[in-house]
Structure 1
Amino acid sequence: MSVLPVHHRTVTVRGHEIFYREAGPADAPVLLLLHGFPTSSHMFRDLLPRLADRYRLIAPDHLGFGRSAAPDAADFPYTFAGLAELTSAFTEALGLDRFALYIQDYGAPIGLRLALAHPERITAIVSQNGNAYEEGLGAEAWAPVLALIAERTPETEEPVRAIRSLDGIRWQYETGVPAEFRELLSPDAWHHDAALMSREGQDAVQLGLIADYGANFALYPAFQEYFRTSRVPLLAVWGEGDEVFVPAGAEAFRRDLPDAEIHLLPTGHFALETHAPRIASLIDDFLTRHVKGE
């Protein structure tokens, strides 16, 4: 497998500068990669070169994340509906009318909102710890978030702030990763995320999004109906040690998509940090069978 370069680009979408990484031939089948919290397209740095010989890979930073613009929370509605609308506009700005989705963490409700709005555009879905089922929510990890969703007060905000601290971010990277794979984790990853999360204005941005997460729960039945009616090809590559989105969330896809391909890997929430070669191989095989000729 040849290694092709990854390009780092920006595009203005509805007045906001969106940063994205792109690799692969312009006429190849498209895979749109949507990252989660608290990271950015940086999480795909090891994956993109491994797939770029056969696919056009596009990985944007959500508004407020990574190297995309981060307008003040008073000037942009930081909700999942707002981010999904902006992501849809991003795909249109790049002329993407057919694409597969790679969804992880926050990328799942954002990407699945795109699928609800334009099911004809989605060729396949790769879910890497990208949840769409209540049973996928880890009870302990979600307790402070659910408290904030139920009632936003200074008392419920404070525990959630700890999630985006350096220690809180490191916990997300290390938890559930067996000792044999711990040395594959680069400390640069959580320091990179923590530095961007500490920028001015991030407190309001991130608290607003986390408080809005309940709106995604309300859409779970619609997401599941989309799976049943579309029969979209779906591959779940899931870190089985993830305590945020637990393996039951991966297994649940088969309830609505009996042909879903489920692979539980011995790692955590950020599975690419330890298993990028394996995940790349699974994606390549999956997309070769399901999006050939797109």
Structure 2
Amino acid sequence: MNTSDATFGGTFPFAPHYTHAPGFRMHYVDEGPRDGGVVLCLHGEPTWGYLFRHLIPVLSQTHRVIVPDHMGFGRSETPQDRSYWLQDHIDNLERFVLALDLNEITLVMHDFGGPVGMGLAARHPGRIRRVISANAPTPFGQADLLDRVLANASTSPWFQWIMQADAKGSLEAVLGQLGFNILSTLKLNGFENNAIINDGWISAYSAPFADPADCVGAIGWAKGFATGAHSFETPDAAANQAIRTKPALAIWGDADRTLGAEHFLPLFAAIFPAAQTIRLPGVGHYCFEDAPNTVASLISDFIRQS
């Protein structure tokens, strides 16, 4: 767990906030006017709120931008006696949102932040204002979800590695050293913008994984896929109908090697058939790193126009 207040060369100057509402010490960024509309940014594996460092200053001029670190990631605590399945992260986010009494939420989701955010939407559709997927799956009770997940896994280097490493019994050992192999993990997932790599950048992403005990969250997400332990939230009929009326936007880096557009954009279109989908050539899985200004502009414009 990274408990420092390091700004990583001034690239993450945001004041830390903490809550114990989810049953552990959860870190979050909270920037912008308190009476502004809420933008809730949800990261995935193996990142943390640092992923949104370029987006926060843009949106916080007019909106309240809240960026929590999931349990076991970033500056949040990594309890050793908790499970780290999808449903646990949904539970944690729900408690966080209720504790802060967040409403009129614009969801900005990346990677497994998609299933977590859509889980929140399934439970509390009335609190959601807009939905933005940025290389993030948007499962919402679709009948073909499992088929799409398995089809993607058959071609994704990351998911292929997870299955092979779990079968060989090496998954925990490798991911338990994320502090040392963070760059190779990001590259395997589809990080393309080599120009931004420097010591500070590597430190920002490796610092939360200083020793194996800090890596339990990252291990849990991968292990949950390998063992089928993750449980996707299924909305009831009312929630399903309510979310379909929300303004929505999909932004997808086409060079994503982890989550193929052909497998996951149809999930988004099934819920939001009239929504705009913007595909970014040459941009990888970590679109917020590969094209930060483009993605921030697209999100800002969409919020303003909707």
TM-score (norm 2): 0.78
Deviation at 1:47, TM superposition (A): 1.1
1:13 match: secondary structure: coil
The aligned amino acid for 1:245 is L
When residues 159 and 12 of structure 1 are mapped into structure 2, their CA distance, relative to the original with a 3 A threshold, is closer
When residues 19 and 200 of structure 1 are mapped into structure 2, their CA distance, relative to the original with a 3 A threshold, is same
Gapped regions of structure 2 (runs ≥ 5) = 1-12, 139-144
For residue 62 of structure 2, what is the aligned residue in structure 1? 54
1:109-128 equivalences in 2 (<5 Å) = 109-128=115-134
Structure 1 CA distance, aligned partners of 2:93 and 2:83?
14
Deviations 1:238-258 (A, max 9, x none): 221110112224531223321
Are the aligned partners of 1:236 and 1:250 in contact in 2 as well (CA < 8 Å)?
A: no
Structure 1 CA distance, aligned partners of 2:115 and 2:30?
22
Structure 2 CA distance, aligned partners of 1:202 and 1:124?
33
Deviations 1:238-285 (A, max 9, x none): 221110112224531223321121112231111111322111111111
For residue 288 of structure 1, what is the aligned residue in structure 2? 304
The aligned amino acid for 2:274 is D
The aligned amino acid for 1:78 is Y
Deviation at 1:162, TM superposition (A): 8.1
> 1:219 aligned to 232, 242, 263, which one?
232
> 2:294 aligned to 273, 278, 282, which one?
278
> 1:157 aligned to 164, 168, 171, which one?
171
Structure 2 CA distance, aligned partners of 1:143 and 1:224?
33
2:30 match: secondary structure: strand
The answer as to 2:199 corresponding to 1:183 is no
2:47 match: secondary structure: coil
Structure 1 CA distance, aligned partners of 2:35 and 2:114?
26
1:189 match: secondary structure: helix
For residue 35 of structure 1, what is the aligned residue in structure 2? 43
The answer as to 2:207 corresponding to 1:199 is no
The answer as to 2:66 corresponding to 1:65 is no
Are the aligned partners of 2:254 and 2:284 in contact in 1 as well (CA < 8 Å)?
A: yes
Structure 1 CA distance, aligned partners of 2:126 and 2:299?
21
Are the aligned partners of 1:254 and 1:260 in contact in 2 as well (CA < 8 Å)?
A: yes
Structure 2 CA distance, aligned partners of 1:37 and 1:175?
9
For residue 145 of structure 1, what is the aligned residue in structure 2? 162
The aligned amino acid for 2:107 is L
For residue 103 of structure 1, what is the aligned residue in structure 2? 109
Structure 2 CA distance, aligned partners of 1:271 and 1:97?
27
2:169 match: secondary structure: helix
The answer as to 2:242 corresponding to 1:234 is no
Structure 2 CA distance, aligned partners of 1:251 and 1:269?
13
TM-score (norm 1): 0.81
For residue 244 of structure 1, what is the aligned residue in structure 2? 258
1:58 match: secondary structure: strand
Gapped regions of structure 1 (runs ≥ 5) = none
Deviations 1:199-234 (A, max 9, x none): 341344433332223355x638x4798666632322
Structure 2 CA distance, aligned partners of 1:268 and 1:286?
21
Measured on the aligned residues, the alpha-carbon RMSD in Å equals: 3.0
Aligned residue pairs total 277
1:62 match: secondary structure: coil
Are the aligned partners of 1:25 and 1:56 in contact in 2 as well (CA < 8 Å)?
A: yes
2:36 match: secondary structure: coil
Structure 1 CA distance, aligned partners of 2:158 and 2:240?
27
Q: Percent identity?
A: 27
For residue 209 of structure 1, what is the aligned residue in structure 2? 221
Structure 2 CA distance, aligned partners of 1:209 and 1:203?
10
Deviation at 1:45, TM superposition (A): 1.0
When residues 223 and 172 of structure 1 are mapped into structure 2, their CA distance, relative to the original with a 3 A threshold, is farther
The aligned amino acid for 1:34 is L
The aligned amino acid for 1:37 is E
For residue 258 of structure 1, what is the aligned residue in structure 2? 273
Deviation at 1:171, TM superposition (A): 4.7
Are the aligned partners of 2:177 and 2:215 in contact in 1 as well (CA < 8 Å)?
A: no
For residue 25 of structure 1, what is the aligned residue in structure 2? 33
